Amino acid sequence: MVLEEVKLENLEKGHILAFGECYKKMIHPSSFEILTPLKEISESLRKKLILICLTASLEETENFEDLKKCLADEIWFILNPELKDFKDDLWARVLAEIVKNSRPYGFFFPATIIGTSLAPRLAGILKLGLCAHVNSLELKDNQIIMARPTYGENVIAKLISKSVPVMATISLGTFPINYKNKEPLIKKVIFPETFSWESKLKIKRFFPTKKKITKLSAAKVIVAGGRGLKNKENFQKLFELAKLLNAEVGATRPVCYEGWAEEERMIGVSGVTVRPKVYIGFGISGALQHTVGMENSEFIIAVNTDKEAPLVKIANVAFITDASILLDILIEKLKTMK
């Protein structure tokens, strides 16, 4: 594919940039998610939305077709063999050059592990403010206002950044992926000969994950458990129930930290956002940090001994009882029905 080439120093200035995570032959879907709120913001500000992708070569990207449908107005590729592996220092220097030369109004990253390693390194180099795990973006008098749950149980903080570009990482799964008909303009950014592609990191080996990635964010039915299940053994019952209902298992942060469930199963600000048809929470109090990740579920069922628990209040139906006893009976009954 022949791309329009543009020299680093000639990049268009003043737009909104989004980081497109191209790694291991895939464009991470979260990069498309963050374009959804940014599209609205950039249109209101009459600025272009530009996806920035760093990779070794274009040929290998498996979901390249998705790029052609994405919401960005333009995609800028920075291509170099040295970008095959994620090297924090080099990638941040490349992005710093992009920022210095294109003087964007905002630069946003998906809160993936790479995104949350790269964005603060870039912010440090350029001495910029950076908001973390934002789950809502709005414009007020042309200023970008970001929100995220914080501290206590049900507290939301609204944040601004006084430095330009405004920078933030955006929570995974928070926004749906939307596509458009018009293909974005794809350009290749040419760096000057003098730019050094060296890194202090040498990636020697890569061991791909053997674990199958949980498909929580796409699940139609989720059975989730919290501290009210009391122990790992009780939590395990959720997997049995999940099998019977064709569901995925989700969890709260404390139980992930306890090791009852893998961290990929965490629902909430620090984990994933889900939107199933049915969500059942067993022994989950419903702290805001958790509920921001599931409140858009179509139908919410809570099982809790405490009538006053916040999840009981937001639920469509709440069952006031011991979660693990109910689980036992439920599994028993469902098995005999099959």
Ligand X SMILES: Cc1cc2nc3c(=O)[nH]c(=O)nc-3n(C[C@H](O)[C@H](O)[C@H](O)COP(=O)(O)OP(=O)(O)OC[C@H]3O[C@@H](n4cnc5c(N)ncnc54)[C@H](O)[C@@H]3O)c2cc1C
Interface positions with ligand X (CB under 6 A): 153, 226-228, 252-255, 266-271, 283-285, 287, 289-290, 303-306, 309, 322-323
CA 267/CA 282 separation, integer angstroms: 13
Q: Is residue 117 part of the contact set for other proteins (CB under 8 A)? A: yes
Q: Give least dist CB 122 to other proteins, A.
A: 8
Strand duo 317-320 + 299-304: pairing:
parallel
C-alpha dist (Å) from residue 130 to 135, 162, 221, 236: 14, 10, 35, 38
Segment near other proteins (CB under 8 A), from 49-57, 99-107, 117-125, 173-181? 117-125
Residue 12 or 306: which CB sits closer to ligand X?
A: 306
Q: Give least dist CB 119 to ligand X, A.
A: 17
DSSP 300-311: EEEEES-TT-HH
Strand duo 143-150 + 317-320: pairing:
unpaired
What contacts 309, CB < 8 A, 6 or more positions away?
Answer: 284, 285, 286, 302
Residue 34 or 287: which CB sits closer to ligand X?
A: 287
Q: Give least dist CB 79 to ligand X, A.
A: 36
Q: Is residue 274 part of the contact set for other proteins (CB under 8 A)? A: no
Residues 238, 176, 105, 10: is their CA dihedral positive or negative? positive
Segment near other proteins (CB under 8 A), from 6-14, 45-53, 61-69, 245-253? 245-253
Residues 227, 228, 232, 235: is their CA dihedral positive or negative? negative
**With CB cut-offs between 5 and 8 Å by kind, which of other proteins, ligand X, none does residue 271 bind?**
ligand X
Binds other proteins (CB under 8 A): choice among 5, 62, 153, 198: 153
CA 186/CA 50 separation, integer angstroms: 10
- For 236, the 3-state DSSP assignment is helix
Query: Cis omega (within 30 of 0) on the bond before 165?
Result: yes
Residue 88 or 240: which CB sits closer to ligand X?
A: 240
Q: Which of residues 291-320 bind other proteins (CB under 8 A)?
A: 299-301, 307, 310, 312-320
Q: Give least dist CB 172 to other proteins, A.
A: 10
Q: Is residue 159 part of the contact set for other proteins (CB under 8 A)? A: yes
Q: Give least dist CB 53 to ligand X, A.
A: 28
Residue 150 phi/psi, 5° resolution? Answer: -150, 165
Binds other proteins (CB under 8 A): choice among 133, 265, 275, 290: 133
